[in-house]
Structure formats: C-alpha cells, structure tokens
Amino acid sequence: MKKTLCDEVNGRLRLALLVIVLAFALCPTVHAAIIYESAPLGAKGVTGPFATIMYDQWFGVRFQVAEPMVVKKIGGHFVAGIPGSAVPARTFFGAVVQLTGLTDFPDTKPVFVIDIDPVKYYSWTGADILARVDMVAPNTSADIRADLPGGGIVLQPGYYALIFGALASNSRVGMITTGTDTGTVSDFAWIAWSEISPGSPFPDDWYDGYRPAGTRFVVEGKPWSPGAAPIAVQLACPVSVNVGQPLTVTVNLYNRDCYDPASVNRFMMSVIGNADGTLGGLGMFGPYNRWLSTPRVVPPADCGTIMAPGTATPFNLTAIVAVPASLSGKMATVDIEAVTNKGQTLGGGECVVNVLQ
C-alpha cells in the first residue's frame, strides 16, 4: 500500500534529527465520496425527458449503509417541470428517512394543511425523517446538491431512503431520465407516493416499483471516524544554516477533506541530533510548546474527478532559535508530525539541512 504524507515518518531511524511537532484543532473527518447514486449523470443543460415531482407524486429510492457515514449533501439531476417558471413552481424538498429494511416504507404520509386559492399546501413530519432540505430546480437541467441542515447527519449501518417531493400544489419539478441505472439499483429499491385521484392506478400511499429508468438520486458524505484527520504536512528547509543562527523552515499544509476546513492553532518543537559525532551521541533539545499567533485555516479539497487538496498560504516556523554547536558539520533532519489537540500524532513530512560552523 502506498504511504501517505501522514504515514511517511512512522518507523524512520532518526540519527540526526530536528523535530517539530504541530498540534492542530481539527475536524475529525476523512475524504468525502458519493455514498450512493442510482444512475449516471448523462447530458446536462437539457429540458427533458423527465419524471415529474408534484405535491401528489413523490419519488424515492432505498439504500444501505455498511459502516457509519456522515451524510453532508443530497441531490440529483433536476430541471423545472414548467420551463421558465418562477421559483415557487420550481421548489421541492429532499429528505433522508430511516428504514428497518429494504422492504420498509416511511412511517407517515403528507397531510393537507391549508388551501390558499389557487395553491394547496401540505405538511410531512415523522420521527423517521432524519433530515430534510428545500431545493430549487434550474430551468435547464443540472446535477445539483443541497447541504443538509446542521452540517449533516451520521448514519449508522442500516437501511435508509432518499425521497424527493413537493409540499405545494403549484410545484412541478422534473427528474431527468437517462434510461440507464447503475448496477446497484434493483426494482425493490424504488418507492413512490401518490395521492389517489379518479382513475389513478396507484394507491393513496407509499408503494414499490414505480421506477423511471435513469432518474438520478445522489447521497454524498464520508466515513465517520472520530479522531481521524485528512491533514498532510510538507516542509522546505534552507540548504544550510550556521551554528548559533535560528533555523527557519517553510510549512505547507494540505487538506484532503471535501467539505470541512482545518484550523492550526499550536505547535510543539523538539531538536534531536548527533551531538558528539558518535553513534551513541544522540541528543534531544526541548520539546518546546508554542502557539501560533494567528491560526492557519486550510480550505477543503476540490473533490472533482481528480481530487485536488485544499492548501493554505505557506508560512515559516523557527525550529530552533540558535542551532547548537554540537551539530556543526553534520546534516540535520527537520521533521513535522501533525497531532490532534489530544496529543495523538497523525504523521507529517521532513526535510534536511546542512549545519555549518
């Protein structure tokens, strides 16, 4: 397995080593991903064909989570049901619902609230509705996402449903249909709700199997792993430094989390070097605990087809105020290991420097 920047320092033999350990106030997250998608995207910027979401016709899909996950966003490929319509007619909702299995349905149905002519308004509540967010469909189709309230929800291993619907009778939203589903979608995963109307073949209830082929349901998130962090550290040393002079290194921070920034608030320093030129002459100076005057915030990564880590402006740190004379004529290694504010090391990077008289 290829080692990450945070793993490289583990197990290294430090014969002449200058150690700087940074301590971070970090969000305990790891790289984000699509947890579930029911269909490939297909062409964007189209006006159809689509399956229509209305107040009396909702669509959903069941999915399973095998490990604890943080769900941050939900979405799909949507378009206005009536081209050129105003925002109220393009407003709908997405919801994540707890299920007991792959044949379960949501526990409740929408209920009529009020009729403000010509629009009827409905409400939908239930203890199994874990999160719900309002969304607006564009007039030409796009693969859109909505942030769940509160920064997201944690899903434990189990069964869930992603539901899209509308709560006003003037809403018309299209889910673009490409005719192609992913290999993980099967007939039993699809669910729908409809309000009974004269001549309707569907019940006034949730039911299985209505399955517009290629409708795109997307759940985005990442594994939930408290204490894990996506920060990596790289160093740049000067070519050389003189004895008695400060040794300053340049620090680069990288964030591989797709959603959350990370904030650096303190660091700890130690100096280890071959103090007397013998194999047994390993000495340690420090450790020194120092706080950064201004926390460094590393923005989230750009998680497109090729993930580009978020980066902060590089900054300098003084590893030691005066390089000890005992290191003269040797090559020292500067090593950074990121740690949590609980003292848990996460890894880091290193660089080397010649120590001159």
Six token digits for residue 345:
């090391």
What's the CA gap between 96 and 83, in Å, rounded?
28
The whole-number pLDDT of residue 306 equals 54
The alpha-carbon radius of gyration of the chain (Å, integer) is 28
Lowest mean pLDDT segment, chosen from 86-90, 156-160, 184-188, 240-244: 184-188
**Separation in Å, CA 173 to CA 44, 55, 196, 286, 334:** 16, 10, 20, 64, 58
**Co-location of 273 and 170 in the same domain:** no
The residues facing 274 across adjacent strands are 282
**Co-location of 262 and 317 in the same domain:** yes
**Co-location of 70 and 214 in the same domain:** yes
**Co-location of 208 and 245 in the same domain:** no
The residues facing 21 across adjacent strands are 268, 337
**Co-location of 116 and 140 in the same domain:** yes
The whole-number pLDDT of residue 208 equals 84
User: Final residue of a domain: which of 167, 191, 223?
Assistant: 223
Q: Residue range 3-26: average pLDDT?
A: 38
> What is the pTM (predicted TM-score) of this model?
0.63
User: Final residue of a domain: which of 197, 223, 249?
Assistant: 223
**Co-location of 256 and 341 in the same domain:** yes
Q: CA 61, 62, 68, 70: dihedral to nearest 10 degrees?
A: 20
What's the CA gap between 338 and 23, in Å, rounded?
6
**Co-location of 283 and 182 in the same domain:** no
Separation of first and last alpha carbons in the chain? 42
Element (H, E) at 94: strand 91-99
Cβ of 231: how many Cβ atoms within 10 Å? 25
Lowest mean pLDDT segment, chosen from 160-169, 262-271, 285-294, 304-313: 304-313
Q: Are 214 and 42 in contact (CB under 8 A)?
A: yes
Q: Which of 93, 263, 223 is nearest to 167 (CA)?
A: 93
Between strands 345-356 and 240-242, the pairing is: parallel
Q: CA 77, 308, 312, 265: dihedral to nearest 10 degrees?
A: 80
Q: Residue range 174-192: average pLDDT?
A: 80
Res 209 pLDDT > 90: no
Length of the chain: 357
Six token digits for residue 276:
């007397």
Res 155 pLDDT > 80: yes
Is the bond leading into 106 cis (omega within 30 degrees of zero)?
no
Task: Give 138's DSSP letter.
Answer: -
Q: Give the range of the structural domain holding residue 239, as residue numbers without chain letter.
A: 17-30+227-356
**Co-location of 160 and 308 in the same domain:** no
Q: Which of 354, 357, 356 is nearest to 333 (CA)?
A: 354
pLDDT band at 348, cuts 50/70/90?
A: confident
The segment with the largest mean pLDDT, out of 114-118, 202-206, 345-349, is 114-118
Helices (H), the chain: none
- 76 exposure class (CB count in 10 Å sphere: 0-12, 13-18, 19+): buried
Q: Is residue 11 part of a domain?
A: no
**Co-location of 117 and 239 in the same domain:** no
**Co-location of 138 and 200 in the same domain:** yes
For residue range 123-140, list pLDDT tens digits in order.
999 999 999 999 999 999
The residues facing 356 across adjacent strands are 242
What's the CA gap between 79 and 89, in Å, rounded?
11
Q: Which of 290, 247, 251 is nearest to 268 (CA)?
A: 290
**Separation in Å, CA 45 to CA 66, 72, 140, 186, 357:** 34, 25, 5, 28, 67
Q: Are 271 and 286 in contact (CB under 8 A)?
A: yes
User: Final residue of a domain: which of 223, 255, 287?
Assistant: 223
Res 211 pLDDT > 70: no
The whole-number pLDDT of residue 183 equals 63
Res 69 pLDDT > 90: no
The whole-number pLDDT of residue 160 equals 95
Question: Which amino acid, residue 36?
Answer: Y
* Total number of domains in the chain: 2
What's the CA gap between 334 and 271, in Å, rounded?
8
pLDDT band at 282, cuts 50/70/90?
A: low
